[in-house]
Structure 1
Amino acid sequence: MLRFVLFFLACLSLPFTAVQAHETSTDGLQLASVNAAVAYANSEELVYGKNAERPVPIASVTKLMTALVVMESGQSLNEYLEFQERHIPAPANAYTRIRIGSELKRGDMLRIALMSSENFAAYTLARHYPGGYDAFVAAMNTRARELGMKNTTFVDPTGLSVENTSTASDLVKLVVAANQYPEISEYSTTRYFTARFRQPRYRLPFGNTNALVHRKSWGVDISKTGYLSEAGRCLVMLLEFEGKQLVTVLLDSLGTRSPMGDAGRIRRWLSTGSSGSVAAAARDYARQKNQAYSTTESSASAH
Structure 2
Amino acid sequence: MRVLGITFLFSATTFSQAEIVVNNLSKQSGQPNTSWSSEDVEMLLNKDVANVELSPQGSVTVKTTRNISTIPSTPVLSKPGQIVDTTAVFNNSPDVSARAALVMDAETGEVLYSKNSNASLPIASITKLMTAVVIADARLNMSETITLQQGDFSCAGCKSSSSTLRAGDTMNRAEALLFALMKSENPAAAALARTYPGGRSAFIAAMNAKAKQLGMTSTHYMESTGLHPGNVASARDLGILVTAASQYGLIRQFSTTPTYDFNLGYRVLKSNNTNALVRNGGWNINISKTGFINEAGRCVVMHTTLNNRPAIVVILGAPTTQARNDAAVNLMTWTSHLPKRL
TM-score when normalising by structure 1: 0.80
Show the counterpart of 1:261: 326
Deviates more, 1:76-85 or 1:139-148: 76-85
Structure 1 alignment gaps of length 5 or more: 1-14, 274-303
Show the counterpart of 1:68: 133
In structure 1, C-alpha distance between the alignment counterparts of 2:250 and 2:133, rounded to whole Å:
10
Deviation at 1:255, TM superposition (A): 1.2
In structure 2, C-alpha distance between the alignment counterparts of 1:81 and 1:192, rounded to whole Å:
22
Letter in 1 for 2:295: E
CA gap 1:74/1:30 in 2 versus in 1, 3 angstroms? same
Deviates more, 1:255-264 or 1:220-229: 255-264
Deviation at 1:43, TM superposition (A): 2.3
Show the counterpart of 2:278: 213
Instruction: State yes or no: 1:25 paired with 2:92.
Output: no
Deviating 4+ runs (over 3 angstroms) = 15-18, 87-90
Letter in 2 for 1:22: T
Instruction: State yes or no: 1:39 paired with 2:39.
Output: no
Q: How does 1:30-179 map to 2 (within 5 A)?
A: 30-86=95-151, 88-89=155-156, 91-179=158-246
Letter in 2 for 1:19: I
3-state SS of the aligned residue for 1:257? helix
Deviates more, 1:123-132 or 1:211-220: 211-220
Deviation at 1:185, TM superposition (A): 1.0
Q: How does 1:173-212 map to 2 (within 5 A)?
A: 173-198=240-265, 201-212=266-277
Report the number of matched residues: 257
Deviation at 1:90, TM superposition (A): 6.3
Deviates more, 1:156-165 or 1:254-263: 254-263
Instruction: Encode CA deviations 1:21-51: one digit per residue, 9 max, x unaligned.
Output: 6355357431121201111112233111100
In structure 2, C-alpha distance between the alignment counterparts of 1:121 and 1:271, rounded to whole Å:
36
Larger RCO, structure (CA 8 Å, separation 6 or more): 1
In structure 1, C-alpha distance between the alignment counterparts of 2:333 and 2:290, rounded to whole Å:
21
Query: Percent identity of the aligned residues?
Result: 36
Instruction: Encode CA deviations 1:57-88: one digit per residue, 9 max, x unaligned.
Output: 00001000000001111002221111122174
Kept in 2: contact 1:221–1:238 (CA 8 A): yes
3-state SS of the aligned residue for 2:268? strand
Structure in which a larger fraction of residues adopt helix: 1
In structure 1, C-alpha distance between the alignment counterparts of 2:133 and 2:209, rounded to whole Å:
12
Q: What is the CA RMSD across the aligned residues, in angstroms?
A: 1.9
Structure 2 alignment gaps of length 5 or more: 1-78
3-state SS of the aligned residue for 2:136? helix
In the alignment, which of 295, 302, 306 is matched to residue 241 of structure 1? 306
